[in-house]
Structure 1
Amino acid sequence: MTRTARRAAATQQAIVDAAESLVLAHGADALTLDAVAERADVAVQTIYNRIGGRSALLIAVAERALEQNRQYMDAAYAAPGSPKDRILRAAEAYARFAAERPHQFRLLIDPPNEPRALARVADLIEEQNTKLASALADGITDGTITADLDPVVTSTTLWAAMNGVLALNWRADRLRAEGDHMRLLITTVINILDRGLSPDGRL
């Protein structure tokens, strides 16, 4: 890579870093080209040249969060074990992503209201839910998961249920859950999931 190319890449990264920090700190509404230019110490025209307009910046920020989430989830599904083992690991990985990267997690749960960013986030969710449905189907086939579950419906239900628990961390009232309380809730969800998937499970 030439020096010019390295400088261009570094400038592009600095711009996306600045856009990400604004979105994560203040929400997507705070992202303007002027604010990003000031934070990245570049001209607005440079943003257009390297990334594009505001929509392109939002997509770039969402793409980073998508890739980070994919790394957590792919590692969980790739590890050896039974279908139920993979599902429980995926649930743990999803909760860990939310705990370790809360701003990125919230960006995926409440993505910027920009059509292409919304579509990319939906693509990732469908991709991960398809993996979950596949693991459920494998477990049904080998008899380790109860046969009366619909894999597609169940995968969507489990994803939504986990989001509901994790979203308690955002509440501003006394129902907010964080720290040890949140860890207890996640452990309880995973224990319920473990029992509920088993053919002879009892909740």
Structure 2
Amino acid sequence: MTFARRQRSARGSGQQLRAEILSAAKELLARTGSVEAVSIREISKMVGVSAPSIYRHFADKDQLIEAVVAQVFEDLEAVMRAVGDPAASPMERLRQQGMAYVRFAIEHPEQYRLATTPGQTAGAVDLVLGSGAFTHFAAAVSECMAAGLFEPADPVPVVLELWASAHGIASLLIAKPYLPWGDLEAVADRVMRAACVGRVVIDNVLGDDATAEDLSQWVIEQRQHR
């Protein structure tokens, strides 16, 4: 996408120009798959403005990239909100949200890497992630607690544990695509289901102090009762 050469901006059109700059930067980042390939000069050509015009909206390239990543992750909030089936159980909705998160990360690998790499982006991106993905995970976890699936407590530690599972498999699928994963959807689904079921077993059967031996014995007993 290349924007036509712009005429002199009319009064009050600053927000429109900012949106066009972000759109061009987003497209360039998605097309090249590399933040190094994104330059103010190239974006100015795409939008049809001078580099100083871009600097009026963004202090430097880093601030522009952060705004682009934050904007992309605003879409994640809508995706996670849309996948929750009201007729499904709280546990199933939690699994669905985890899968939506993983799919989104795989579809936006460079943006996801930038958003989750220490020192790359902060501030706006963290706010978007915190208000979007975290909020939806927290709501689903709270519903699981209300339904007696998880031990009623502060949902934050449980949210972070499940978020870590979603982030872990998403990051590996992005960083190591050449490994023999098999069906990516099936792999991610097993990871998310294992994290959810593991939390149920710990909370309702074995307790936080359970050892690997306790878990092994419990599994053996369950098999014997089949």
TM-score by length of 1: 0.74
Q: Which runs of 5+ in 2 are unaligned?
A: 1-8, 207-217, 220-226
1:195 corresponds to which letter in structure 2? V
Structure 1 residue aligned with 2:168 = 164
Report the Cα offset of residue 43 of structure 1: 0.7
5 Å matches for 1:1-203? Answer: 4=10, 11-24=17-30, 25-49=32-56, 51-54=57-60, 55-77=62-84, 79-110=86-117, 113=120, 117-127=121-131, 128-143=133-148, 145-147=149-151, 151-171=155-175, 174-175=178-179, 177=181, 180-198=182-200, 199=204
2:141 corresponds to which letter in structure 1? L
CA distance in 2, matches of 1:131, 1:170: 23
1:137 corresponds to which letter in structure 2? S
CA distance in 1, matches of 2:23, 2:71: 10
Higher helix share: 1
- CA change 1:124–1:15 in 2 (3 A) is closer
| Count of paired positions | 194
Report the Cα offset of residue 157 of structure 1: 1.4
1:23 corresponds to which letter in structure 2? L
- CA change 1:169–1:141 in 2 (3 A) is closer
Q: Give the number of the structure whose alpha-carbon radius of gyration is greater.
A: 2
2:45 corresponds to which letter in structure 1? E
Q: Is the Cα–Cα contact under 8 Å of residues 24 and 43 in structure 2 kept in the other structure?
A: yes
Report the Cα offset of residue 165 of structure 1: 1.0
Q: Is the Cα–Cα contact under 8 Å of residues 77 and 89 in structure 1 kept in the other structure?
A: yes
TM-score by length of 2: 0.68
Report the Cα offset of residue 35 of structure 1: 3.0
CA distance in 1, matches of 2:75, 2:97: 14
Identity over aligned pairs, percent: 23
Q: Secondary structure at the match of 2:151?
A: coil
Q: Deviations over 1:63-113 (max 9, x none)?
A: 211211111122235745432232112112112212333343333323772
CA distance in 2, matches of 1:121, 1:78: 27
Q: Secondary structure at the match of 1:118?
A: coil
Report the Cα offset of residue 8 of structure 1: 5.5
Give the CA RMSD over aligned residues.
3.4
